[in-house]
Amino acid sequence: MTASAGYQVVARRYRPQLFADLVGQEHVARGLSGAIESGRIGHAYLFTGARGVGKTSAARIYAKALSCERGPAAEPCNECDSCRAIVAGQDVDVIEIDAASNRGVDEMRQLRQNVAVRAARGRYKIYIIDEVHMLTREAFNALLKTLEEPPAHVKFVLCTTEPESLPITILSRCQRFDFTTVDVPSIALRLAQIVEAEGADVSPEALTLIARRAAGSMRDSQSLLEQLLGSASGAIGIDEVHALIGTGREERIGELLAAVASRDAARAVAALDASLQGGADPGGVLEQLLAGLRDCLLASVGCDAVLLTQSQGLGVDLPAIGRQLGTATLLAMLQILDQSLSRMRTSGHASLLAEMGVIRLATLEDLEALATAVDRLAAAAGPTQSPVAAEPRPSLPRPPAPPPTAAQKKTTEVTALGGEPPAARPMVPPSPSASTVDSVPAPAPQPRALPALPPDPRAMWQAASSVLEGLAGDCAAEAISAAWRDDVLEVLLPAQATTAAAFLRRPEVAASISRALEDLAGRRVSHAVAFAAAASAAGPASGEEPPRPVAAASHAALMREATEHPLVAHARTVFDAAIRKVEPARPRDVKPATPSSTVALVGEVDESADERGPEAGRENDDG
């Protein structure tokens, strides 16, 4: 064929011109033709599907059927002026818009203005918006009202490969037709018709290989055929197709598949290298291996031989390999290949990744045998007990029981002597005594003996206060006494230390104190915080000196003393501060002592007192 300036590629010259020419989209052809015949012509249609399956071609055929001078008809005549103008792309009433380059709101506003103008010569003004998902959000919003209620002479056909990217408001306004991918036999048949029309000589095996490589896209298959017709001379066989698309020969892929199935990593890598040395692309070889394993997987689950069409000509028994590897192993192999192909698309070491993937396949364990071994172990363990459940579970240590109180001890002693416990008291289970333990046939193990509590509770609290950090340690140091109350460490604070008591009773602070006491005592210790004034009514604990009463100075006297203090006066002059509050001085240790006449100045004076350093602190203590 002589090249010329007006040459058109195969994909354009053999574009479908009738609904009957749409390969693999018979359901779409029936739907559109039936709508025209019944007069139920919608105002907006949405064509979705993969690339190269006929969306734009169907939109043009629909436009011809509506604008045909002999119509509207189920099939356009392709002979009238209107049909020929639409085929040539010169009809003023059929406007094709590329949304990838006209995606803004200004273009949609211009469209809204133009739809009001009636068709120049036809019945309808038809807008075909290709790649409509590329429109911006603002453009979609500008199109909404016009798309829902266009003039009677306006029809919209929207085409997209990504319907999930469209707003739901657009989807709800359109009649949707989903275009499916074209199967391999249909593509091969259409390619054979084109080869016959072109007068070329291409073997059926080569056409089938091109159809498989196209992955369901009719346009991709026609583009590959166009490239093959332009690069090869004479008869075209399967070797020319392999050289064009970068795939390995079928027998080498069969050798690679057989080596992987036999777990021979060295032979598998050699087969892969032989395919690459023949000019194949690493990704193309792995895709061929993926197709072969796919057929093995279908054969392993008992699918019909009609579905095993992606790996014909490999020279191996795919059903036998499927039974040999098993479904679980094949699923794992397909996942490995998919991950390898994904990494190869973004890596500069495609050959290395292909070799790694093949080695992983050849060294993969037999998952079917592993599952069989697990089932055999489960059957040997018994019907109601699995091997894992048969193992003894480690028992968790029980927390030690608290020591009995004085009332419980008294009740236990009365029961041991043959008496009855007091009826008015609640029934508390007595501790096992010597007389009752003998009657138990299998006595339970006795709990571990707890360490004795420290004899000096005040020293223990001082040690815990020194361990605490920050404000918790300062507030704990304000305690004036500590005593044991039924194994509970009761700490007394001054009556005016309400803030310190509230802070120590916080859950997080109380937990820190409990941990410190537990570390010191070697056992769990409970504590309680109380005020000295409230505890004085109950009397002092045995062995403890009662807290001395705290003399509360009048607020006026404290204010007068703070005002006359030279350091306070100097701070007020330097910082231009004012006295807001005066509090009595708090003792620095837990020993009972009468409060001194020292005052603590709160507010601006505190900041100045911090900056004066330890010298000012000693002067304040002396004052």
Convert the pLDDT of each residue in 433-481 to its tens digit. 444 444 445 555 555 556 677 778 888 888 888 778 777 877 888 888 8
Is the confidence at residue 578, as pLDDT, over 70?
yes
Confidence of residue 256 (pLDDT cuts 50, 70, 90): very high
Other CB atoms closer than 10 Å to residue 502's CB: what's the count?
A: 12
**486 in helix, strand or coil?**
coil
* Distance separating alpha carbons of residues 10 and 13, to the nearest angstrom: 5
One-letter identity of residue 387: P
> Is the pLDDT higher at 452 or at 285?
285
SS3 letters across 142-169: HHHHHHHCCCCCEEEEEEECCHHHCCHH
Give the per-residue pLDDT at 403. 59
What mean pLDDT, rounded, does the chain reach?
A: 77
The maximal CA–CA distance of the chain, rounded, in angstroms, is 126
Residues of the chain with CATH 3.40.50.300: 10-179
Residue 369 phi, psi (nearest 5): -65, -35
Give me the helix-helix angle, 282-300 and 318-325, nearest 10°.
80
The closest alpha carbon to 232, from 190, 197, 274, 203, belongs to 203
Confidence of residue 406 (pLDDT cuts 50, 70, 90): low
Q: What mean pLDDT do residues 409-437 have?
A: 46
Give the per-residue pLDDT at 405. 55
CATH architecture of 250-367: Up-down Bundle (1.20)
Both tokens of 435, joined, read 């007389």
Residues of the chain with CATH 1.20.272.10: 250-367
* Distance separating alpha carbons of residues 408 and 428, to the nearest angstrom: 7
Confidence of residue 383 (pLDDT cuts 50, 70, 90): low
Other CB atoms closer than 10 Å to residue 235's CB: what's the count?
A: 11
Is the confidence at residue 614, as pLDDT, over 50?
no
Domain 457-536: state its class: alpha beta
Confidence of residue 310 (pLDDT cuts 50, 70, 90): low
Residues of the chain with CATH 1.10.8.60: 184-245
Q: Which DSSP symbol is given to 200? A: -
CATH fold of 184-245 reads: Helicase, Ruva Protein; domain 3 (1.10.8)
Q: What mean pLDDT do residues 83-97 have?
A: 90
Give the per-residue pLDDT at 450. 62
Candidate from 56-65, 100-109, 479-488 with smallest mean pLDDT: 479-488
Is the confidence at residue 34, as pLDDT, over 60?
yes
131: left (phi over 0), alpha (psi -120 to 50) or beta: left
11 contacts 187 by C-beta, under 8 angstroms: no
- Helices assigned H by DSSP within 69-167: 81-88, 105-114, 137-148
Give the per-residue pLDDT at 135. 93
Q: Which residues contact 104 (CB under 8 A, 6 or more apart)?
A: 136, 138, 139
Residues of the chain with CATH 3.30.300.180: 457-536
> Is the pLDDT higher at 508 or at 541?
508
Q: Which CATH number fits domain 10-179: 3.40.50.300, 3.40.50.2000, 3.40.50.620, 3.30.930.10?
A: 3.40.50.300
Give the per-residue pLDDT at 369. 67
> Is the pLDDT higher at 5 or at 333?
333
Both tokens of 426, joined, read 């609640």
Q: What mean pLDDT do residues 353-375 have?
A: 82
Give the per-residue pLDDT at 532. 73
Candidate from 151-165, 403-417, 605-619 with smallest mean pLDDT: 605-619
Q: What mean pLDDT do residues 72-101 have?
A: 90
Candidate from 266-270, 294-298, 333-337 with smallest mean pLDDT: 294-298
Give the per-residue pLDDT at 540. 47
Other CB atoms closer than 10 Å to residue 404's CB: what's the count?
A: 14
* Distance separating alpha carbons of residues 156 and 142, to the nearest angstrom: 15
This prediction's pTM: 0.55
Highest mean pLDDT among 23-27, 230-234, 407-411: 23-27
Could you tell me the end-to-end alpha-carbon distance of the chain, in angstroms, rounded to an integer? 116
Q: What mean pLDDT do residues 539-563 have?
A: 54
> Is the pLDDT higher at 175 or at 536?
175
- Cis peptide bond prior to 72, omega within 30° of 0: yes
H helix or E strand, kind and range, residue 605 = helix 604-612
Q: Which residues contact 70 (CB under 8 A, 6 or more apart)?
A: 77, 80
H helix or E strand, kind and range, residue 380 = helix 367-381
